[in-house]
Amino acid sequence: MNGQVKRAFKFRFYPSEAQAVELSRTFGCVRKVYNLALQARSEAWALRGERVGYEATSALLTAWKRTEELAFLAEVSSVPLQQALRHLQAAFGNFWARRARFPRFKSRKRSRASAEYTRSAFRWRDGVLTLAKMAEPLDIRWSRPMPEGATPSTVTVSRDSAGRWFVSLLCEDPSVTPLPATDAVVGIDVGLDHLLVLSTGEKIGNPRHERRDRTALAKAQRALCRKQKDSNNRAKARVKVARIHARITDRRTDYLHKITTRLVRETQTLVIEDLAVSNMVGNHRLARAINDASWRQFRQQLEYKASWHGRNVTVVDRWFPSSKLCSACGALASAMPLSVRTWTCGCGTIHDRDVNAARNILAAGLAVTVCGAGVRPQRNPPGGQSATKQKTPRREPQESPSFTRGRSQAVQYFRTASVEL
């Protein structure tokens, strides 16, 4: 890594009354500029088929500040407003590359309130952070040490739905270096009874964080429903619900960080299964439990930590029949309902369903690195599917389909969405 890994350090801070007012105004202006720019770009594309880039929206921002209606945009720091335009440019870039949907308007109630400052808009001296348009530094709670000699390149200030204020400092972390190589390999099967089952036979429990607070959450949500719409009491009740959700999320994230850090430190090669979580939550009986397990977040943490520390993460194809294969003889069972937790193969081997799946996942992952499976898949793999995830070459988007697709979505958003401050 050579000490070039950029890492964000997030801390809570407690703004003064003046700072809270200034940041709230900045959040509103950022949202307003983003929505105005999105409206301008959508209108240009829907009516004239014209692509408006960052430079054009930046010029529009200057013109908006000179109008009487939008003169308040000049009262906050200009850097977060420019950054909002850059974020919109990135969103359109992802859309044209077919990595994301058409950008959506930001809502005052549903969107995350945040503002990004670059180096020209903040002062960092000896661990003291002062933002533009503010006389006093932020009162930050330093819950962990920053890298020695680190200087933030960008600072992002945000406020969540529970009313908590956070500041995220992006800087280079020289402590992120490859770990000593090891021969340890492990296959990982995710589940609900146990969050993770390893090919070594170890089972890591599922704390079910949402279930622990389900009663309190239901009580708070019922109280929220009884409050009159747009009243102060309803706003207070909404914050109580948000705080319970925040507590659940914090516990879940902390638990996953501890697990993934331990796995990356101890193991050189980690083999996981490619799961279509968005499709699996379509099962309404298991959707709440699947969302609470947060398998997608587990994979994200595992992958970026492995890239930091020189570990390998291999992904097995989602159609690989890991549960129905006998890890001893390779026989394929005809069916394996979820209710079956232990089964006996024709060869006489008694399998724990999850441990057997983890061992099969490990074997499939080792085939990738040793035999090249997945690059040249077997013609008749067990279960009729390749052992490893196959990536088909992506076709370059043609101009005409992209034009039609983008224009139709731009027309739809332009007609139905409203810009709100």
What pLDDT, on the 0 to 100 scale, is given for residue 136?
94
Could you confirm whether 160 is annotated as catalytic? no
Among 22, 173, 273, 317, which one carries the catalytic annotation?
273
User: pLDDT at position 391, please?
Assistant: 42
pLDDT band per the 50, 70, 90 thresholds, residue 45? confident
Residue 28 has pLDDT above 70, yes or no: yes
Among 116, 292, 317, 354, the active-site one is 354
**Side-chain half-sphere CA neighbours of 262 within 13 A:** 9
Tell me, yes or no, if 183 is annotated catalytic.
no
Is pLDDT at 378 greater than 80 in this prediction?
no
Tens of pLDDT along 253-304?
999 999 999 999 999 999 999 988 888 888 888 899 999 999 999 999 999 9
Residue 369 has pLDDT above 70, yes or no: no
User: What is residue 169's predicted lDDT score, i.e. its pLDDT?
Assistant: 96
354 has catalytic annotation: yes
What confidence tier does 410 reach under pLDDT thresholds 50, 70, 90? low
Please, are residues 109 and 103 in contact by the beta-carbon 8 Å criterion?
Answer: no
Arithmetic mean of pLDDT, 395-407: 46
Alpha-carbon gap, residue 88 to 418, rounded angstroms: 17
pLDDT category at 64 given cuts 50, 70, 90 is very high
- Chain position carrying tokens 């992958």: 303
Instruction: In whole angstroms, give the CA distance from residue 235 to residue 256.
Output: 31
Measured CA to CA, the distance from residue 357 to residue 271 in angstroms comes to: 12
Question: Closest Cα partner for 173 from 145, 154, 147?
Answer: 147
Mean pLDDT confidence for 197-208? 93
> Which residues fall within 8 angstroms of residue 217, CB to CB, at 6 or more apart?
210, 241, 244, 245, 248
Look at residue 408 and tell me whether its pLDDT is greater than 80.
Answer: no
Report the DSSP beta bridge partners of residue 8: 170
Domain with CATH 3.30.420 in the chain: 179-206+253-390
Residue 3 in this model has a pLDDT that exceeds 80:
no
Tell me what percent of the residues of the chain surpass a pLDDT of 90: 63
pLDDT tens digits, one per residue of 72-107: 999 999 999 999 999 999 999 999 899 999 999 998
- Range 230-234, long-range pairs (CB < 8 A, 24+ positions): none
* pLDDT of amino acid 51: 83
Averaged pLDDT of the chain? 86
22, 173, 189, 317: which is the annotated catalytic residue? 189
Distance (Å, whole) CA 351 – CA 332:
13
CATH architecture of the domain 179-206+253-390 equals: 2-Layer Sandwich (3.30)
Q: Give the pLDDT score at 405.
A: 52
pTM: 0.81
d(CA 88, CA 253): 28
